[in-house]
Structure 1
Amino acid sequence: MRQHRAGMAFILITLLLDVIGLGLIIPILPRLVIDLTSSGAAQAAFTYGFLVAVYALMQFIFAPVLGSLSDRFGRRPVILIALLGLGINYLLLALAPNLTWLIVARVISGVMGASITTVNAYIADISTPQNRAQNFGLVGATFGLGFILGPALGGILGAISPRLPFYAAATLALLNWLYGLLILPESLPPDKRRPFSWHKANPLSLLQLRIYPIVAGLAVAFVLLGLAQRGLESVWVLYTTYRFGWLELQNGLALALVGVMAVLVQGFLLRLIIPRLGERRAVLLGLTISTVAFLLYGLAYQGWMMLAVIVFTALGVLRTSCDLCAGRRMCAGRRMLQSSRGW
């Protein structure tokens, strides 16, 4: 039991540092693209969108691969290799002299970021039926805290030097790796490990979702939601800089507001709204709010309007009750559903 508590504490610290590291570079990476390509906002948006697509493609391909490797060799080595790889990725971004370095770094980041499936498996390994919901709830809270601190720190550091957030993210990742090397226990005993299976590691195994109609429908919803969300992320910093003259600090604080609102809604409002509306109506309400919010982002003509839409958009996380539907109805499709997010 003590080992499980140590493992859970490490995973939460790992996720916090990982999300902070990711958040650190979000307000800055588009600026780096502009600097390295010497292009305008339109061309930079295309290039940055390509980098986002590369990252997502690597996650889609390698999420099931890393999951199967962790089933064969244990969770600990996969998580540690991923942390080391993320540290190298951030260093490459900090030192990048040209676009090729950025592409290589995003490939590494996508591959190593696919280890989120292994992290989820680790939590499942050390959880009991009594504390599973609590443990995954702590994971959600940790993500929210990381997305508050990361963009805010990224904006502050980016205002000092455009490369400083990348060095900070690399430092966090490498310290996290060292901490795990010394502290992290293995969660999957040898007698529960399974041979590596290329069939399960094949991302096209998502086609098996057709035998789980409910999970298949949720996977399609996640793909469409991810497409919209990644599109917004690809142009956010470039758009607000071009339209409102926002710099790194303003963008970082605005993105931190996204994290604050997500924590408030997920931590407090969801537990009030879902029992009253039910999961299906809550999902539909969240999707409707998200659709309206995307339109409002496009119509906003002053910076404060974007902040108001962020507050309104927070209610769109009601759509994440899809996760509850998936976990409640078909646990067997969990890994395939996670992989579908990479689309």
Structure 2
Amino acid sequence: MSARRPAVIFIFITLVLDILGIGLVVPVLPKLVQHYQGGDVTAGSNVYGLLAALYALMQFLCAPLLGSLSDKYGRRPVILISLFGSAIDYFLIAFAPNLAWFVAARIVAGITAANYAAASAYIADVSPPEKRAANFGLIGAAFGIGFIIGPILGGLLAKFGGVKMPFFFAGALTLANWAYGWFVLPESLDQEHRRSFSWKRSNPVGALLALRRFPALLGLVVTYFIAVLAHQVYPSIWVLYTGYRYHWTELQTGLSLGAVGVMAGLVQGGLTKRVVGALGEKKTVQYGLALAIFLYAAYGFATQGWMVYICIFFGSLAGLVTPAVQSLMTQSVPRNEQGELQGALTSLSSVAGVAGPLATTRLFGYFVSDKAPLLMPGAPFFWSSLLMVLSLAIAVPSLKRIHKAPDVV
């Protein structure tokens, strides 16, 4: 293991395999929950929102702990724990006879869900400041590749092997990814940049309060939180929304997510370096947030399935925001606190993951029910559009206060 130097390519492979597993189950999980609710759209939407919120709540409670552990013991052990927890989640759902098993699976997955945070810290470890935006864009590229193959394959497996087959396949793939991490993935955080463990920094409240030491960063953190909250509309209701409004099957949904993957791979893997190089990180954030305002509204107004693909094509450019924001934030925090930063951001994402699914699934369920004053299945997307207006308003002054932190404190 020591013979291998840590590099972005290693963590990129881990992320691709991880996201491929997630992509496999995305087209079928909401409909599987709906099936256990007797096929009722509103009831299925509400229960799915609760399960998503439960996962995010457990992640909120545990992510700072895993982030702090990665600052002390390294990124690799945390990534291995996360992957093993994901495998357990997939197999529990695959064998689930009722929704109680879903609850157990989501709890396990939420407790160990630190792969993205650890991967982000890994990238910060091995990337010089001027290359971080481009390298964080590779996370988006990994999402792209995973979602090109995963949802399409998941839809095919569900069609020909049954609705639970994608979960068996995803579980096996995640175990293979764990084996790759065990035998191949090198550690990125050397001993001299590690720091002692502290319970004060390792709880969600403590991790978030620790960010007060970087006042220039707080506005951008709030911007990030609101953007993540708005983004919850996609994993929360995409399958339910497209199934209800356009009558898409699992395979059609998988194809649409595959299109999302293609565009994400092209934009974040190929355009990030060029756009950020031309505009700079701060302008990239502002333009991307402005574009997202119109993107969410366009999804809500799309009355035909083909319109969704137009939104996917142009809206993918808004994905440039995340690597640019990540780059700015990591440059504002010393190297030996990157794990804590990513843990805090993951906790914030988890708060959004609790509130977002609860809000969007209930908005969707209400506006497709007989109780609504008018039928408006796109209501959750309009809500996300308004959130992005707020995010942009906070980002503009906050970007003026960002500055580079020392390497180690």
TM-score, with length taken from structure 1: 0.89
CA contact (8 A) 1:7 1:184 kept: no
Residue type at the aligned position of 1:246: W
Q: CA RMSD in A?
A: 2.7
Pair 135,3 (structure 1): closer, same or farther in 2 beyond 3 Å: farther
1:107-126 matched pairs, under 5 angstroms: 107-125=107-125
Shift of 1:32: 0.8
Corresponding residue for residue 169 of structure 1: 170
1:235 to 215, 234, 237: 237
Corresponding residue for residue 203 of structure 2: 202
Residue type at the aligned position of 1:80: L
Unaligned runs of 5+ in 2: 352-409
- 1:9 and 1:271 map into 2 onto residues whose CA distance is 16
Pair 119,337 (structure 1): closer, same or farther in 2 beyond 3 Å: same
Unaligned runs of 5+ in 1: none
2:247 to 233, 236, 245: 245
Would you say how many aligned residue pairs link Structure 1 and Structure 2?
343
- 2:278 and 2:320 map into 1 onto residues whose CA distance is 13
Shift of 1:316: 1.5
Q: Deviations over 1:230-282 (max 9, x none)?
A: 12321110111111110111101101111111222223444444445443333
1:67-82 matched pairs, under 5 angstroms: 67-82=67-82
Pair 240,94 (structure 1): closer, same or farther in 2 beyond 3 Å: same
2:345 to 334, 337, 340: 337
Corresponding residue for residue 220 of structure 1: 222
CA contact (8 A) 2:5 2:186 kept: no
CA contact (8 A) 2:78 2:114 kept: no
1:1-343 matched pairs, under 5 angstroms: 3-5=3-5, 9-125=9-125, 136-160=136-160, 161-188=162-189, 193-204=194-205, 205-320=207-322, 321-331=324-334, 334-335=341-342, 336-343=344-351
Q: Which SS does the other structure have where 1:239 is aligned?
A: helix
- 2:269 and 2:82 map into 1 onto residues whose CA distance is 29
Q: Deviations over 1:175-212 (max 9, x none)?
A: 22233333344445566654321111111121232332
- 1:97 and 1:238 map into 2 onto residues whose CA distance is 22
CA contact (8 A) 2:59 2:110 kept: yes
CA contact (8 A) 1:285 1:318 kept: no
CA contact (8 A) 1:210 1:216 kept: yes
Q: Which SS does the other structure have where 1:199 is aligned?
A: coil
Of 266-275 and 171-180, more deviation after overlay is shown by 266-275
CA contact (8 A) 1:26 1:151 kept: yes
Residue type at the aligned position of 1:23: G
Residue type at the aligned position of 1:164: M
Residue type at the aligned position of 1:115: N
Shift of 1:50: 1.4
- 2:319 and 2:154 map into 1 onto residues whose CA distance is 24
- 2:275 and 2:233 map into 1 onto residues whose CA distance is 28
Pair 292,134 (structure 1): closer, same or farther in 2 beyond 3 Å: closer
Instruction: Provide the identity percentage.
Output: 47
